[in-house]
Amino acid sequence: MRQILPIVKSSFQWALILFTTITMITAWTYMGEARPFRLGVLPDKGQEFGCSTCHVDKNGGGPRTPFGEDYARIGIKAKEKYTQALGELDSDGDTFTNDQEFEAGTHPGLVTSQPSK
């Protein structure tokens, strides 16, 4: 019995270490997707739409909106900045620039969300 107990204890410790490692990797991977600091560089600081400003999922991560694609292409390359070039684009193709959309409180990545004319 004494020989079995140390093995069980050791197996339990390994299981605990494995579980903890998998949990940490999963959390770290998720945090790699969610980057809330990016909201702070947007003109509205993410107040209107949060993560769904750039992502289809309101929780962030995964597929991007047209604005999110443009931010990935321009803003990230500009060292995480909302640039003049990004503001002058019409990411969602609704005839309003991203700057106009942010100023009006409408979604720059959703064609059905438009400023009043």
Q: Worst-scoring range by mean pLDDT, 11-25, 38-52, 65-79?
A: 11-25
pLDDT, one tens digit per residue, over 51-79 is: 999 999 988 888 999 999 999 999 888 88
| Average pLDDT of every residue of the chain | 84
Average pLDDT in the 2-12 region?
60
Please state the rounded mean pLDDT for residues 74-89.
92
Q: What is the pTM of this model?
A: 0.69
| Cα–Cα distance for residue pair 55/62, rounded to 1 Å | 7
**6: pLDDT strictly greater than 60:** no
Q: What is the pLDDT of residue 50?
A: 93
